[in-house]
Structure 1
Amino acid sequence: MSEQALESRPSGASVEAISYHYDVGTGFYRLWLDRSLTYSAARWGDPRQIAATPVSLELAQEAKLDFHLRAVGVGPGDSLLDVGCGWGSLLRRAVEQYGVATATGLTLSTDQHNFLRALDLPGIEVRLENYEDYRPAATFSGIVSVGAFEHFTRPGLSAAEKIAIYRRFFQRCHGWLNRGSRLSLQSITWGNVPRDRTSFIVAQDVFPETDPPYVTDVLDASADTFEPIYMENCRSDYIRTLEVWLERLRTRQREIEAVTRPGTFEFYERYLRRSIYGFKKRQLQLCRFVFQRH
């Protein structure tokens, strides 16, 4: 199928699919995520070091945010785009700790959008908008995307169709960035799973219309517009994050059951356990890529 034909059809998870998982209620996520409401794998240590020093979830999430902000090199007076901004922890850290002048976040979650809008933080803009529809008024000093890339395509697409969709994302980022600037990307990727078996691994009852990339898909799709300058695969980061989340979820079971509809606790408890299994079995990986704009 041509890329022109693909432009006319949905690519990844729809607004409804994102809402199904993320719009359970910010109060629910507050009970078991860290204080910053960062809902993606933390960074527990540098994989280039022999051993990582144990830290709290809060500090490990800060380390992850700092990794991406330092990777794109933003500082005072700069502008930043966060594709898939969640509840805005990276946007807030960029403005408050790095002096970024303007930080723009894109999300498809109504809860996340409303939460950030209500904070009304100086220098931060949040948009309830798909990256495919976004048309910025100016270019950015850096772009970060954490935990969104795995939602950009859906099951049933061929490898060529998926790469075409990813390629358009990188082309958009290329056009949105100042010359020589960087894109930092964090995504779940497939590990030792054949392409014809992926539909049996990702639980569509947890993340509907979602199909992560292979590492080669990411590199192939970015080759024309970006130079990869760093990559790390840190499965252990997601395993440890998931284990901490699971412990915190179980600790708050009664409170969760009091503020959510029946079955929510069991749903998330099962999803976290299944995710830990997938990473431990090397079916899933956690990759961070840093790209330099051509």
Structure 2
Amino acid sequence: MPINTLESSPWRGSRHDFCRERLEPLLDQAGIRINGDRPWDIRVHDPAFFRRMFADASLGLGESYVDGWWDCDRIDEFICRIIRAGLADRFRSWRDAVAALQARLFNLQHAARAFHVGQRHYDIGNDLYGCMLDRRMIYSCGYWKDATTLDEAQEAKLDLVFRKIGLEPGMRVLDIGCGWGGAARFAAEKYGVEVYGVTVSAEQARYAREICQGLPVTIELKDYRDIEGHFDRAYSLGMFEHVGCKNYGTYMKLVADRLPDDGLFLLHTIGINTSDNHGNPWVDRYIFPNSMLPSIAQIGTATENRLVMEDWQNFGPDYDRTLLTWYDRFEWHWPSLRPRYGDRFYRMWRFYLLSFAGAFRARYIQLWQIVLSPKGLTRRYDAPR
């Protein structure tokens, strides 16, 4: 991929100079230098980057990186410092205003759009995810409390989830957003339960059915709104980020309607500190279409008169480590993936994994496990840790 450099390309107009003069003191507040020599400093190859930052904000930052306009050895630390310095909220573009208006006027996660994220993200290649993820293909935060490897962290997470909802042999369990079936298989094998899982990804459904053959596990390609039947327990790992705030109430009501009064549901989701009605523009366009992160207030409102909160745990810093481990595995396997995916995809995927790691490190986003019951348990609930 050809990349211009400051030495080989002239500054194209005073607008770039003006934008650089505005940007430098802002980055200085975060301890970041332009063309500095520290790992979190950025090296600018195309001066148009400066104007693009002010014109397109977060979308411009991500797109210009993928285009090769700038580089950074530690994107995760660069993003962390940007957020910690409060700069993320100072860069807003007209696109953010349009996105907010669209989200206010329309239900961007309605049923007709439910399968978009499956087709554009989860279906892009099981070879990619097989290289990046653990042996069970669990695509959500690991639990690193006592773990030293990714496999251990993901198994510890699954064990934590199933202990929290009190799985017992013979139970019928709902898995909303079952991914590649690793959690359903683990629950069936270790806890002796029957699992019904749904996903909006055709590739996930196919793979999950293959690895769960011979077990009491049913996998269907289906939107959560079409789930029928009754279950003793339910869980959802890293799927709620695709539901959308206009649908949170519908989602919680469906869960409550599918469980008995003494049932338990565990919601494992990324969360954000401040309520919003739409997601990051770059993430929405290139990684997770129609996605957005819920806030505590939004989840609380959605559960009112529907579910009772029994426990709420935050282990957001564990996602930083999980993402860095995924990135290391992605880098290690990149030579074998490169012929299929290409260098532009590499830059996009690198920015995705490392920018999310930086956001978790800055505590801008969190990882929540929330245990809910339809009516509130009559006994005391002590969540395992």
Q: TM-score, length-normalised on structure 2?
A: 0.66
How far apart are residue 205 of structure 1 and its match?
A: 1.5
Q: Which amino acid aligns with 1:176?
A: R
Aligned residue for 1:177? 259
For structure 1, which runs of at least 5 residues remain unmatched after alignment?
Answer: 46-52, 154-161
Structure-2 separation of matches of 1:30 and 1:135:
31
How far apart are residue 7 of structure 1 and its match?
A: 8.9
How far apart are residue 26 of structure 1 and its match?
A: 1.0
The verdict on how the C-alpha distance between 1:9 and 1:250 changes in structure 2, with shifts beyond 3 A counting, is closer
Q: Which amino acid aligns with 1:184?
A: L
Q: Given the alignment, which residue of 172, 175, 186 partners 1:93? A: 186
**Are 2:290 and 1:209 aligned?**
yes
Q: Given the alignment, which residue of 242, 260, 265 partners 2:346? A: 265
**Are 2:364 and 1:248 aligned?**
no
State the identity as a percent.
27
Post-superposition CA distance 1:204-229 (Å, at most 9, x none): 32111111110111122112122111
Q: How does 1:12-91 map to 2 (within 5 A)?
A: 14-45=114-145, 53-91=146-184
How far apart are residue 262 of structure 1 and its match?
A: 5.3
How far apart are residue 70 of structure 1 and its match?
A: 1.1
Richer in helix (by share): 2
**Are 2:198 and 1:131 aligned?**
no
Aligned residue for 2:269? 187
How far apart are residue 290 of structure 1 and its match?
A: 0.6
Richer in strand (by share): 1
2:284–2:290 CA contact under 8 A, matched in 1: no
The verdict on how the C-alpha distance between 1:143 and 1:196 changes in structure 2, with shifts beyond 3 A counting, is closer
Structure-1 separation of matches of 2:154 and 2:256:
27
> Does the residue aligned with 2:358 lie in a helix, a strand or coil?
helix
Aligned residue for 1:156? none
> Does the residue aligned with 1:184 lie in a helix, a strand or coil?
strand
Aligned residue for 2:374? 293
The verdict on how the C-alpha distance between 1:199 and 1:27 changes in structure 2, with shifts beyond 3 A counting, is closer
**Are 2:358 and 1:277 aligned?**
yes
Post-superposition CA distance 1:6-62 (Å, at most 9, x none): 8998169631233211111112211121100001000112xxxxxxx4421101100
1:146–1:185 CA contact under 8 A, matched in 2: yes
Q: Which amino acid aligns with 1:126?
A: I
Q: Which amino acid aligns with 1:135?
A: E
The verdict on how the C-alpha distance between 1:196 and 1:187 changes in structure 2, with shifts beyond 3 A counting, is closer
**Are 2:241 and 1:150 aligned?**
yes
How far apart are residue 259 of structure 1 and its match?
A: 4.0
Q: TM-score, length-normalised on structure 1?
A: 0.85
Aligned residue for 1:157? none
How far apart are residue 199 of structure 1 and its match?
A: 4.1
How far apart are residue 260 of structure 1 and its match?
A: 3.3
Max radius of gyration: which structure?
2
Q: Which amino acid aligns with 1:74?
A: L
Structure-2 separation of matches of 1:59 and 1:188:
21
The verdict on how the C-alpha distance between 1:85 and 1:271 changes in structure 2, with shifts beyond 3 A counting, is same
> Does the residue aligned with 2:124 lie in a helix, a strand or coil?
coil
**Are 2:299 and 1:234 aligned?**
no
> Does the residue aligned with 2:260 lie in a helix, a strand or coil?
strand
Aligned residue pairs: how many?
A: 270
**Segment of structure 1 superposing worse, 252-261 or 279-288:** 252-261
The verdict on how the C-alpha distance between 1:200 and 1:115 changes in structure 2, with shifts beyond 3 A counting, is closer
Q: Which amino acid aligns with 2:237?
A: V
Structure-1 separation of matches of 2:301 and 2:319:
25
Q: How does 1:151-170 map to 2 (within 5 A)?
A: 151-153=242-244, 162=245, 164-170=246-252
1:185–1:289 CA contact under 8 A, matched in 2: yes
CA RMSD of aligned residues (A): 2.3
2:143–2:318 CA contact under 8 A, matched in 1: yes
Structure-2 separation of matches of 1:127 and 1:95:
16
Q: Given the alignment, which residue of 202, 206, 210 partners 1:114? A: 206
The verdict on how the C-alpha distance between 1:197 and 1:166 changes in structure 2, with shifts beyond 3 A counting, is closer
Q: Which amino acid aligns with 2:353?
A: L
> Does the residue aligned with 1:105 lie in a helix, a strand or coil?
strand
The verdict on how the C-alpha distance between 1:21 and 1:241 changes in structure 2, with shifts beyond 3 A counting, is same
